[in-house]
Structure 1
Amino acid sequence: MSDKIDFIIPWVDGNDPEWIKEKNKYDNKASNDSREVRYRDWDNLQYWFRGVEEFAPWVNKIHFITWGHVPEWLNVDHPKLNIVKHTDYIPEKYLPTFSSHVIELNFHRIDELAEHFVYFNDDTFIIDNVSEEDFFKNNLPRDIAVIKPIINTFRESTGAIASNNMEIINTKYNKNTAIKNNLSKWFSPSYKKHLISTVLMMPFHQFAGFLNPHLPNSYLKKTFKELWNEEDEVLDKTCQNKFRDGRDVNQWLFRYKQLVEGQFLPRSADIGRTYNLINDNSEVESSIMEKKYKIICINDNDKEVIEDIGKVKSEINNAFQKILPNKSSFEK
């Protein structure tokens, strides 16, 4: 059993006219953050809260990060809910921001944030029972340490960001020493088929990259504080950008630091699965209704043009409704 564990979830209402007005003051359309897909609303955030209440009732507090708006249905007076505006924790010199990287890199500044916290995106849902030890064990984050080369399969991906992170990791840490110091963590049988990738990458002197499951990440707050002390210039430069930039670093850098320093315990990759939304999402629907995984990520990107957004939205949300039909106490 670990100490108390908090959840963090950032959210933006891409339809808020005031938010759009402020965004347009700074938006030169050069960033991939300008794409509609970055802010498209699938009207299913309530299922995130229902999943937490149903399957992770042990959570200490939920820090709901927002530009300033909140969903109309959200019970803002819930004792476990902390509404956090950007202005509440992000240094003024970085505001306003429309970059998820700036929002992420400053998590440690949130008032009353627990030392142990899990970062969720709003497209990542708990759909079956999870325990505290799925995220932390012996007060260490649970994670998957797998070496995997950075390969981009579509444009405007996060590959460039991951490469920037790796530059810092490879200049700060020796790969062979890092692995030798924690052999059992790097070659855990819980990684199953993913172990092959690490084995094949062992002859190389540097880390080629890491497996980045699009799932919630467990963090120690001290990791954020330490890295800001060590790499203030790099993090500050990213935070100066109003929108995501190919020269940024992101929250994975903190995760990588935990991995190479051995500040984690192995966890199976089978805890969750990421799906990219396409026109036929029958596999996603069955995974939700049959609870094939504890956690599911439904990623909205440009891999396939969705012809009927309303139809896809209805199908996905109907699947959620079948396993989580009742309002949570986080809803009015």
Structure 2
Amino acid sequence: MEEKKETQIDFVIAWVDGGDPAWQRERDRYGKMGEKTAVEETGEREKSGVACDTRDVRYRDWDCLRFWFRSVEQNAPWVHKIYFVTWGHVPKWLNGNHPKLEIVRHEDYIPGEFLPTFNSHTIELNFHRIPGLSEQFVYFNDDMFLLRQVSPGQFFRDGKPLDMLALQPVVANREDAVMPYIYLNNAMVLARYFDKRENMKQQPGAYWHPGYPLLYFGYNLLERMFPRFTGFYTVHGPSPLLKNTYEALWQREGALLSEVCSHRFRSREDVSQYLLREWQKLEGNFYPVNACRFCRYYDLSDQNTSLLHVIEKKKSPAVCINDSQKVEAYDRVKRELNEAFLKAFPKKSSFETDGAGEKH
């Protein structure tokens, strides 16, 4: 029997093949500036007061995508649909005829005035426009994997996302020319609609949930001293989201979101999809849980012993493997990652055809 529309849960995964020559040509045509500009804040665009993140590391592919599909089929067979969001490239091994798979190109849902885009925020802030997407959905970056069996109740309960409301000051990180500004931009938007102390009074259980990690429980206690929001901590893992949250934000902040979506590359003037998660929490439209227990986060480096062990032994329900500037031995690290995933998920999924490992 077909599941009721209001209880369906879809997955959305956004993927880019940074090695695709056609994609590279289009990206370069629209003003790729290079790693030095993004990291050291140099170049003409920085002189004009705008810093963009166009580093190759933002688009580098580790060739682990087939393991994402294996992990979902094994650990979340209940998912209603998987929406695979892509600039246009699709791996040759991907079974486009799979009944649960919908391949969504940017032009299928992002308004034309924002295209082409190389900005993940533009891609993420328009998900509610994907035709057929369910009200409840979980957004995965392509570096987030399910390692153990999970249930729908670990993402949503009674139509509400499970998440963690944790306050944390925005850090003036001089090594990052973009993200600290985005975190502050998110907080500035939220502060226009929510009063911190009033919100704490209205939903104390959202701030003082006994299951929260001690660190963030402590942060929330300390934050009572400050009348204004100083920032938010959002667990970097699969994001449970509601389409009506998107619609509410676009209705209230359409001009801002349109401006963000007009940026071809990630910019310090952007807001991110974390704004949507924090909006849900401040509205009280979520169930508080210790989200840190669900997903372990790792920055890739040249030595990834702990991460590889977590993957092989499936030590966590989910894992996020963040690319970083720390990896110099790319080929070796890529091989080690794939070997670890192959041990964890040796069996092909029904999402794969015989052309595994190839792209077009």
Q: CA deviation at 1:28?
A: 4.4
For 1:64 and 1:37, the matched residues in 2 are separated by: 21
For 1:203 and 1:12, the matched residues in 2 are separated by: 43
Question: CA 1:5–1:140 in structure 2 vs 1: closer, same or farther (change >3 Å)?
Answer: same
For 2:346 and 2:177, the matched residues in 1 are separated by: 36
1:211 aligns with 2:233: yes
1:102 aligns with 2:106: no
Q: Could you say which residue in structure 2 is the equivalent of 1:316?
A: 337
Look up the equivalent residue of 2:128 and give its one-letter code: H
Unaligned runs of 5+ in 1: none
Look up the equivalent residue of 2:347 and give its one-letter code: N
2:346 to 318, 325, 331: 325
RMSD of aligned residue pairs (Cα, Å):
1.4
Quick check: 1:134–1:267 contact (8 Å CA) kept in 2? Answer: no
1:3 aligns with 2:7: yes
Q: CA deviation at 1:257?
A: 0.8
1:47 aligns with 2:67: yes
Q: Which runs of 4+ in 1 moved over 2 A?
A: 30-34
SS in 2 for 1:241: coil
Q: Could you say which residue in structure 2 is the equivalent of 1:189?
A: 210
For 1:44 and 1:170, the matched residues in 2 are separated by: 39
Q: Could you say which residue in structure 2 is the equivalent of 1:257?
A: 279
Q: What does 1:1-332 align with in structure 2 at a 5 Å threshold?
A: 3-29=7-33, 32-153=52-173, 154-193=175-214, 194-268=216-290, 269-302=292-325, 304=326, 306-332=327-353
- What is the TM-score of this pair, normalised by structure 1? 0.96
For 2:121 and 2:328, the matched residues in 1 are separated by: 30
For 2:230 and 2:125, the matched residues in 1 are separated by: 23
Unaligned runs of 5+ in 2: 34-44, 46-50, 354-360
Question: CA 1:235–1:10 in structure 2 vs 1: closer, same or farther (change >3 Å)?
Answer: same
Look up the equivalent residue of 1:169 and give its one-letter code: L
Look up the equivalent residue of 2:70 and give its one-letter code: R
The percentage of aligned residue pairs carrying the same residue is 44
SS in 1 for 2:138: strand
1:54-95, CA deviations, whole angstroms, 9 ceiling, x for partnerless residues? 001111101100111101110011110010010000001111
For 1:4 and 1:138, the matched residues in 2 are separated by: 12
Look up the equivalent residue of 1:52 and give its one-letter code: V
Q: CA deviation at 1:310?
A: 1.2
